[in-house]
Amino acid sequence: MVWLAIDTASDKASYALKVGDKLYTREKDGVTSHAKTILTLIEELLVEAGVELKDVQGIIVGRGPGSFTGLRVACAVVKGLALVHDIPIYPVSHLMLVTFMARKKYPHEAILSVIDARMQQVYWSYFPSNTWDAKEAVQCVSQIPSPQQSFVLAGYHFHEYQSLIPASWHIIAEMQLEIEASAMIEMFEAQLLKPVSAEQLEPVYVRDQVTQGAQNG
Protein backbone atom coordinates (compact mmCIF):
# COMPACT_ATOMS: atom_id res chain seq x y z
CA MET A 1 0.00 0.00 0.00
CA VAL A 2 1.24 3.48 -0.90
CA TRP A 3 -0.40 6.54 0.66
CA LEU A 4 0.51 10.22 0.28
CA ALA A 5 -0.53 12.93 2.78
CA ILE A 6 -0.23 16.68 2.18
CA ASP A 7 -0.82 19.65 4.47
CA THR A 8 -0.24 23.28 3.45
CA ALA A 9 -2.81 25.02 5.68
CA SER A 10 -0.25 27.26 7.41
CA ASP A 11 3.30 28.52 6.85
CA LYS A 12 4.48 25.03 7.74
CA ALA A 13 4.46 22.40 4.99
CA SER A 14 4.00 18.82 6.13
CA TYR A 15 4.16 15.81 3.80
CA ALA A 16 4.16 12.08 4.48
CA LEU A 17 4.41 9.03 2.25
CA LYS A 18 3.75 5.54 3.58
CA VAL A 19 4.97 2.59 1.56
CA GLY A 20 4.03 -0.66 3.24
CA ASP A 21 5.20 -0.25 6.84
CA LYS A 22 7.80 2.42 6.05
CA LEU A 23 7.05 6.10 6.56
CA TYR A 24 8.81 8.97 4.76
CA THR A 25 8.24 12.59 5.81
CA ARG A 26 9.11 16.14 4.81
CA GLU A 27 8.57 19.18 7.05
CA LYS A 28 9.34 22.75 6.02
CA ASP A 29 8.77 25.81 8.23
CA GLY A 30 8.33 29.41 7.14
CA VAL A 31 6.96 28.64 3.69
CA THR A 32 5.90 31.85 1.94
CA SER A 33 4.64 30.18 -1.25
CA HIS A 34 3.36 26.62 -1.14
CA ALA A 35 2.78 26.82 -4.88
CA LYS A 36 6.56 26.97 -5.39
CA THR A 37 7.40 24.02 -3.11
CA ILE A 38 4.55 21.51 -3.16
CA LEU A 39 5.49 19.54 -6.27
CA THR A 40 9.19 19.56 -5.36
CA LEU A 41 8.54 18.14 -1.89
CA ILE A 42 6.20 15.48 -3.24
CA GLU A 43 8.82 14.45 -5.80
CA GLU A 44 11.53 14.28 -3.11
CA LEU A 45 9.40 11.85 -1.10
CA LEU A 46 8.64 9.67 -4.10
CA VAL A 47 12.30 9.50 -5.09
CA GLU A 48 13.42 8.67 -1.55
CA ALA A 49 10.84 5.88 -1.32
CA GLY A 50 11.59 4.56 -4.80
CA VAL A 51 7.99 4.81 -6.04
CA GLU A 52 6.10 6.84 -8.63
CA LEU A 53 2.81 8.69 -8.56
CA LYS A 54 1.15 5.88 -10.47
CA ASP A 55 1.92 3.64 -7.47
CA VAL A 56 0.04 5.89 -5.02
CA GLN A 57 -3.30 4.35 -3.98
CA GLY A 58 -4.71 7.32 -2.12
CA ILE A 59 -3.96 10.99 -1.42
CA ILE A 60 -4.91 12.44 1.96
CA VAL A 61 -5.12 16.23 2.00
CA GLY A 62 -5.84 18.86 4.64
CA ARG A 63 -8.95 20.68 3.41
CA GLY A 64 -9.19 23.35 6.12
CA PRO A 65 -9.93 25.47 7.88
CA GLY A 66 -6.63 27.31 7.60
CA SER A 67 -4.71 29.62 5.28
CA PHE A 68 -6.93 30.38 2.28
CA THR A 69 -4.01 30.38 -0.15
CA GLY A 70 -2.40 27.23 1.25
CA LEU A 71 -5.69 25.33 1.09
CA ARG A 72 -6.34 26.39 -2.50
CA VAL A 73 -2.85 25.29 -3.57
CA ALA A 74 -3.13 21.86 -1.95
CA CYS A 75 -6.61 21.16 -3.29
CA ALA A 76 -5.74 22.30 -6.82
CA VAL A 77 -2.58 20.18 -6.98
CA VAL A 78 -4.26 17.11 -5.47
CA LYS A 79 -7.17 17.43 -7.90
CA GLY A 80 -4.74 17.46 -10.81
CA LEU A 81 -2.74 14.47 -9.58
CA ALA A 82 -5.88 12.49 -8.81
CA LEU A 83 -7.40 13.11 -12.23
CA VAL A 84 -4.23 12.25 -14.16
CA HIS A 85 -3.43 9.11 -12.18
CA ASP A 86 -6.96 8.07 -11.14
CA ILE A 87 -6.17 8.24 -7.40
CA PRO A 88 -8.84 8.42 -4.64
CA ILE A 89 -8.77 11.54 -2.45
CA TYR A 90 -9.36 11.61 1.31
CA PRO A 91 -9.94 15.16 2.67
CA VAL A 92 -9.15 15.86 6.32
CA SER A 93 -10.67 18.51 8.58
CA HIS A 94 -7.83 20.24 10.41
CA LEU A 95 -9.98 20.62 13.53
CA MET A 96 -10.72 16.90 13.50
CA LEU A 97 -7.01 16.24 12.93
CA VAL A 98 -6.13 18.28 16.03
CA THR A 99 -8.65 16.23 18.00
CA PHE A 100 -7.22 12.97 16.66
CA MET A 101 -3.72 14.00 17.75
CA ALA A 102 -4.97 15.08 21.19
CA ARG A 103 -6.77 11.79 21.70
CA LYS A 104 -3.54 9.87 21.41
CA LYS A 105 -2.93 11.11 24.96
CA TYR A 106 -6.53 11.66 26.09
CA PRO A 107 -8.52 8.98 24.24
CA HIS A 108 -11.81 9.30 26.11
CA GLU A 109 -12.00 13.02 26.88
CA ALA A 110 -14.01 15.77 25.23
CA ILE A 111 -11.81 17.98 23.03
CA LEU A 112 -12.16 21.64 22.16
CA SER A 113 -10.07 21.98 19.01
CA VAL A 114 -8.86 25.48 18.09
CA ILE A 115 -6.73 26.97 15.32
CA ASP A 116 -5.60 30.57 14.94
CA ALA A 117 -7.79 32.32 12.36
CA ARG A 118 -6.07 35.71 12.65
CA MET A 119 -8.04 38.93 13.23
CA GLN A 120 -8.36 38.02 16.94
CA GLN A 121 -10.41 34.92 16.11
CA VAL A 122 -9.99 31.14 16.13
CA TYR A 123 -11.50 28.31 14.13
CA TRP A 124 -13.00 25.86 16.59
CA SER A 125 -14.92 22.62 16.98
CA TYR A 126 -16.09 20.88 20.12
CA PHE A 127 -15.91 17.07 20.13
CA PRO A 128 -17.77 15.49 23.08
CA SER A 129 -16.27 12.34 24.64
CA ASN A 130 -15.90 9.41 22.24
CA THR A 131 -17.32 11.24 19.22
CA TRP A 132 -15.81 12.47 15.96
CA ASP A 133 -18.63 14.66 14.63
CA ALA A 134 -18.60 18.40 15.26
CA LYS A 135 -19.59 21.62 13.58
CA GLU A 136 -16.85 24.06 12.56
CA ALA A 137 -17.06 27.75 13.40
CA VAL A 138 -14.93 30.88 13.68
CA GLN A 139 -15.27 33.33 16.59
CA CYS A 140 -13.38 35.29 19.19
CA VAL A 141 -12.27 32.95 21.98
CA SER A 142 -14.35 34.82 24.54
CA GLN A 143 -17.50 34.21 22.45
CA ILE A 144 -17.18 30.43 22.19
CA PRO A 145 -20.04 28.83 24.18
CA SER A 146 -18.78 27.16 27.36
CA PRO A 147 -18.87 23.35 27.05
CA GLN A 148 -20.92 21.69 29.77
CA GLN A 149 -18.36 19.02 30.57
CA SER A 150 -14.65 19.18 31.35
CA PHE A 151 -12.48 19.02 28.26
CA VAL A 152 -8.98 19.13 26.78
CA LEU A 153 -8.11 22.36 24.95
CA ALA A 154 -5.99 21.43 21.95
CA GLY A 155 -4.78 23.25 18.88
CA TYR A 156 -1.98 25.11 17.19
CA HIS A 157 -1.05 28.79 16.99
CA PHE A 158 -3.59 29.71 19.67
CA HIS A 159 -1.21 30.71 22.50
CA GLU A 160 -1.81 34.42 21.77
CA TYR A 161 -5.42 34.04 22.87
CA GLN A 162 -4.93 32.25 26.18
CA SER A 163 -5.59 35.44 28.15
CA LEU A 164 -9.07 35.52 26.59
CA ILE A 165 -10.09 32.05 27.79
CA PRO A 166 -13.30 32.38 29.87
CA ALA A 167 -12.99 31.53 33.57
CA SER A 168 -16.06 29.29 33.22
CA TRP A 169 -14.21 26.75 31.06
CA HIS A 170 -13.36 23.47 32.84
CA ILE A 171 -10.06 22.61 31.17
CA ILE A 172 -8.45 19.28 32.04
CA ALA A 173 -5.28 19.99 30.04
CA GLU A 174 -3.95 22.23 27.28
CA MET A 175 -2.04 20.90 24.28
CA GLN A 176 -0.15 23.07 21.79
CA LEU A 177 0.20 20.85 18.74
CA GLU A 178 1.90 21.01 15.36
CA ILE A 179 0.02 19.58 12.41
CA GLU A 180 1.71 16.44 11.08
CA ALA A 181 0.87 14.81 7.76
CA SER A 182 1.84 11.45 9.26
CA ALA A 183 -1.12 11.80 11.65
CA MET A 184 -3.38 12.20 8.62
CA ILE A 185 -2.26 8.76 7.43
CA GLU A 186 -3.01 7.41 10.91
CA MET A 187 -6.53 8.85 10.63
CA PHE A 188 -6.99 6.98 7.36
CA GLU A 189 -5.73 3.77 8.96
CA ALA A 190 -8.22 4.30 11.79
CA GLN A 191 -10.97 4.41 9.14
CA LEU A 192 -12.01 7.95 10.04
CA LEU A 193 -11.81 9.34 6.49
CA LYS A 194 -14.12 9.05 3.50
CA PRO A 195 -13.03 9.28 -0.14
CA VAL A 196 -14.23 11.97 -2.55
CA SER A 197 -13.76 12.48 -6.25
CA ALA A 198 -11.52 15.20 -7.66
CA GLU A 199 -14.65 17.13 -8.64
CA GLN A 200 -15.97 16.97 -5.07
CA LEU A 201 -12.77 18.18 -3.37
CA GLU A 202 -13.06 21.76 -2.16
CA PRO A 203 -11.22 23.76 0.51
CA VAL A 204 -13.27 24.57 3.60
CA TYR A 205 -12.65 28.12 4.72
CA VAL A 206 -15.38 28.42 7.44
CA ARG A 207 -14.89 32.20 7.71
CA ASP A 208 -16.42 32.80 4.27
CA GLN A 209 -19.20 30.33 4.97
CA VAL A 210 -20.05 31.98 8.31
CA THR A 211 -20.10 35.45 6.74
CA GLN A 212 -22.24 34.26 3.87
CA GLY A 213 -24.65 32.57 6.23
CA ALA A 214 -25.06 35.76 8.26
CA GLN A 215 -25.73 37.78 5.12
CA ASN A 216 -28.39 35.28 4.04
CA GLY A 217 -30.13 35.71 7.40
> pLDDT value at position 208?
63
Lowest-confidence pick of 76-90, 138-152, 155-169, 197-211: 197-211
> pLDDT value at position 210?
40
CA distance 104 to 99: 9
* CATH, range 2-93+179-215: 3.30.420.40
**Does the pLDDT value for residue 91 go beyond 70?**
yes
Q: Pick from 212, 193, 208, 189: which is nearest to 62 by CA?
A: 193
> pLDDT value at position 212?
38
Torsion of CA 97, 91, 181, 1, to 10 degrees: 120
> pLDDT value at position 159?
80
Residue percentage of the chain with pLDDT more than 70: 95
> pLDDT value at position 11?
86
Looking at domain 95-176, its CATH superfamily turns out to be: ATPase, nucleotide binding domain (3.30.420.40)
Report the pLDDT averaged over residues 183-202. Answer: 97
Domain ranges of the chain: 2-93+179-215, 95-176
Radius of gyration of the chain (CA): 17
- The answer to whether 28 and 13 have CB atoms below 8 angstroms apart is yes
Report the pLDDT averaged over residues 83-110. Answer: 97
What does the pLDDT look like over 142-189, one tens digit per residue? Answer: 999 999 899 999 998 888 888 899 989 999 999 999 999 999 999 999
What does the pLDDT look like over 7-25, one tens digit per residue? Answer: 999 888 999 999 999 999 9
> pLDDT value at position 120?
87
CA distance 167 to 38: 42
Please provide the average confidence, as pLDDT, over all residues in the chain.
Answer: 92
Q: Count of residues for the chain?
A: 217
Report the pLDDT averaged over residues 55-79. Answer: 96
Q: Pick from 179, 198, 178: which is nearest to 58 by CA?
A: 198
For residue 88, the number of C-alpha atoms closer than 13 Å in the C-beta half-sphere is 10
- The answer to whether 21 and 70 have CB atoms below 8 angstroms apart is no
Rounded (10°) angle between helices 34-49 and 68-85 = 40
